Structure 1
Amino acid sequence: MSHDHGHGGCGDHIDEHELSWNVLGYQDNLYKQIDRAHVVAFNANGQGRTVIKPWSERNDEASYLESDADDQLILRVPFTGSVKLRALLLKAGPGDKTPLKVSLFANENNIDFDDIADKAPTQEFDVPQGRDVGEYQVRAAKFVNISSITVFFPASQGAEETRVYYLGFLGQWSEKKEDPVITVYEAQANPADHEKIQGMMGGTQMPQP
């Protein structure tokens, strides 16, 4: 189908590029590569996967995740394969419920509130207040071969709770390579290793008639 942007006219005309953008968003959006069933939230009033939405629902403020006992919040997001991350997408707030910062930890699958303060984040961003989805470009070299991202919101901007509406990721995805160590071992097997086994209990095998 052709795309004609040179003509004015019908007020109800919907640009096909805009329609595609609203539904699909960035072509490297990793929504489908997130293992949503295993997204975990700590100190949250709700389930972590609530904020893992398709791009077309990024501005939906009816569903959100809010911190529970205080204004700290952790989200652990696993991927279904290996990811090279390009950017984080975040919609939070409103107002003083916006997180002060967002800290990203690459491949930290067991981190929680007991030890997160002692770990340096892979990268950290300040979060401005606003109603739009913010895009935070990561240092790509630090986010290669990622199987999970832990997202930490250490404090709100004044409220007793931190609220998140939408969390997304941009990047490249590839399938995990299964059992690479075994494959390498079989490919480099040394026949000399097998000569040490001469028979049962250290005895000598008798030749077959």
Structure 2
Amino acid sequence: MHRCCLHNEEVGIHYSLFSKIDKEKLECLNESVEHAGKKVFKPWEDRLSCVFVESDADEELLFNIPFVGNVKLKAIKVIGEDSDTHPSKMRLFKNRPSMTFDDSSVKADQEFELVKDTSGFAEYTTKVVTFNSVNHLTLHFPTNFGAETTKIYYIGLKGEFTEAHHHGVTICTYESRPMPQDHKNPLTEFSQARLGQ
């Protein structure tokens, strides 16, 4: 296999967290076409497909991304056009479900200045200590390189996934004072059985 193909295959394995997103609950705010934002989370080999999300009223886009378990997020890739529609900044928020643009004024957990990337060469490494237990990720793209709208073709998430554990309720009864009649003594039972013979 060609070395380039091997590299792409390896990157694809690392950037597979798209499959751990709860797509039904994923939302993109300010998208010009409904549900277009969900389609940019796709396999690495489809990253250059013509599917994209474009902002509507202005250049801002905000993604609320719920996972089906816990994620240790290590890096992100963002692909756009070689034009001013490419986002120029990305802000990350951890475990803040249902964020809106009004909430985005709070301090982000991490921010990145983006470069124009049309193939996925740039990788933005996250602070692993901060993003080691993520069940919901919000990505805010507040600006682009000067266009009226922003276009994104691919968002890749790299990291490790752990299944969510759902513990049932365990009902326990504790005695404030042990009652001898409630506790069988195997020695007594054995003695009584011998005496009964």
Whether these two folds match at TM > 0.5 is yes
Q: Secondary structure at the residue paired with 2:136?
A: strand
Superposition RMSD in Å:
2.2
> What is the one-letter code of the residue matched to 2:32?
N
Alignment match, 1:130: 117
CA drift of 1:88 comes to 0.8
Is the alpha carbon distance of 1:85 and 1:130 closer, same or farther for their aligned partners in structure 2, counting shifts above 3 Å?
closer
Alignment match, 2:44: 55
CA drift of 1:18 comes to 4.2
Q: Which has the larger radius of gyration?
A: 2
- Alpha-carbon contact 1:34-1:79 (below 8 Å) kept: yes
Alignment match, 1:150: 138
Is the alpha carbon distance of 1:38 and 1:94 closer, same or farther for their aligned partners in structure 2, counting shifts above 3 Å?
farther
- Alpha-carbon contact 1:101-1:153 (below 8 Å) kept: yes
Return 5+ residue gaps in structure 2 as ranges.
180-197
The whole-number CA distance in structure 2 between the counterparts of 1:191 and 1:126 is 61
- Alpha-carbon contact 1:95-1:130 (below 8 Å) kept: no
The whole-number CA distance in structure 1 between the counterparts of 2:57 and 2:28 is 13
Identity of aligned residues (%): 30
Q: TM-score, normalised by structure 1?
A: 0.75
- Alpha-carbon contact 1:93-1:99 (below 8 Å) kept: no
Q: Secondary structure at the residue paired with 1:69?
A: coil
Can you list the C-alpha shifts for 1:106-133, whole angstroms capped at 9, x where unaligned? 111021012211x111100001123231
Alignment match, 1:22: 8
- Alpha-carbon contact 1:24-1:56 (below 8 Å) kept: no
Q: In the comparison of the two structures, how many residue pairs are matched?
A: 174
- Alpha-carbon contact 2:78-2:117 (below 8 Å) kept: no
Return 5+ residue gaps in structure 1 as ranges.
1-13, 196-209
Can you list the C-alpha shifts for 1:154-209, whole angstroms capped at 9, x where unaligned? 111110001100011111101001137x45xx57x64339x9xxxxxxxxxxxxxx
- Alpha-carbon contact 1:85-1:171 (below 8 Å) kept: yes
CA drift of 1:135 comes to 1.1
Is 1:83 the counterpart of 2:76 in the alignment?
no
